[in-house]
Amino acid sequence: MPKNLVALLALVLMSNLTFACDLCTVYLGIQPNDFKNSFSVRHRYRLFERDFDLNQLSQTVSRKQQLRENNKHAGTPSEAIAPGETYRYAEAFNSYDVSANFYIGTKFQINSTVNFSDNYTYENDSILNNIGGFGDLNLLLKYQVFNSIEQEDSSSKKPIHRVSVGAGITLPTGKFNKENVDSFQTDFQPTGITSVPVMELDPHLQAGTGSFGYLFLLEHLVSYKGLGLNSNISYKLNTTNKNGFKFANRLNFNTSAFYLVKLFKKVKVMPNIGLSYENSERDTYENEPFMDSGGEVLFANYGLNLFINKVGLEFSYYQPIKEQLIDIQPFNKRRIISQLTYYF
């Protein structure tokens, strides 16, 4: 299929689905309470995992020297790992977000999000490193270009058709210079043998990016009698931080079908299922490629939303179904998002 036709189809399908970008920490969930301000707290969990052996590690180091860069993943195995023995390396990212969403009339919508991260790396289930801290501040402004009805309700008996565009900025307010122990270096002295920790700064484990980012978003929603399709496409431009590191620009596309069911007078439930796609090139360090970074992944996502009067509860699960990563990286295993929202 021609690339321009693929792009056209993507634009036609865009809408207001779940958006969960790795780095921008912006999240927009499906919900029927349009035109209402809201305050949300959420937990986002991402797990990456892969079995490595020393042969793979030596290949990674060889390519690292060719690119004159540090590798992003795989770490340095402990001395307990024998040559040829396989060990499991994992990265777990926890993000605790606080988000506020406000309407200016019925056309403009402002969203602000800040988060606290608690990130871990593991070797055979033993913790290697733990880095946490407050992340970047995200601000997003959306404008509703078209809406088929004035006061939207996803359970309306009239067909609903809505198109929105948005632009946002990420402010470098988060911590991005926390070092961790990569390995230990033996130092022979006249008085004895000492072991000195070798510290490294892994930009991918940091709570913040240390740089400005710019987000562009297009959304589209269609629904009829509670049944609908909700999708979006977004692109994030990243800049270089003070350490000379730049996260690659990232493309996200999401689409999801949902069905809103009214159980009682003030209780609604909404199951949803869909696909989520992410794509990025390699990151860069001092304008050179940063190896073991970048690639593309397609997720199947399943979710359930419960709305009780002014309170919304949401749970979403992301399962990778296809991925193509650049160089040697731990594989995507799962992503989980849970959220509590109050509407006012």
In DSSP notation, 210-241 reads SS-EEEEEEEEEEEETTEEEEEEEEEEEE-B-
The Cα 58–Cα 246 span in angstroms is: 26
Phi/psi region, residue 84 (left: phi>0; alpha: psi -120 to 50; beta: rest), is: left
- pLDDT of 116-163, one tens digit each? 999 999 988 889 889 999 999 999 999 999 988 765 554 557 888 899
pTM: predicted TM-score of the whole model, two decimal places = 0.81
CATH number at residue 217: 2.40.128.130
Q: How far is CA 56 from CA 52, 53, 209, 320, in A?
A: 6, 6, 29, 23
**Does residue 92 belong to any structural domain of this protein?**
yes
**Does residue 73 belong to any structural domain of this protein?**
yes
- pLDDT for residue 95: 95
**Does residue 7 belong to any structural domain of this protein?**
yes
Q: What is the mean pLDDT of the chain?
A: 82
Q: Are 23 and 238 in contact (CB under 8 A)?
A: yes
The Cα 101–Cα 113 span in angstroms is: 9
**Does residue 87 belong to any structural domain of this protein?**
yes
- Can you tell me the mean pLDDT for 186-211? 81
- pLDDT for residue 153: 52
**Between 95 and 328, whose confidence is greater?**
95
**Does residue 133 belong to any structural domain of this protein?**
yes
Q: What pairs with residue 133 in β-bridges?
A: 117
**Does residue 193 belong to any structural domain of this protein?**
no
**Does residue 194 belong to any structural domain of this protein?**
no
DSSP code string of 180-201: EEEEEEEEEETTEEEEEEEEE-
**Does residue 20 belong to any structural domain of this protein?**
yes
What percent of the chain has pLDDT above 70? 77
Q: Per the structure, how many domains does the chain have? A: 1
The Cα 285–Cα 97 span in angstroms is: 28
Say if residue 302's pLDDT is above 50.
yes
Print the domain residue range for 114: 3-172+210-343
The Cα 88–Cα 96 span in angstroms is: 26
Give first-to-last CA distance, the chain, whole Å. Answer: 46
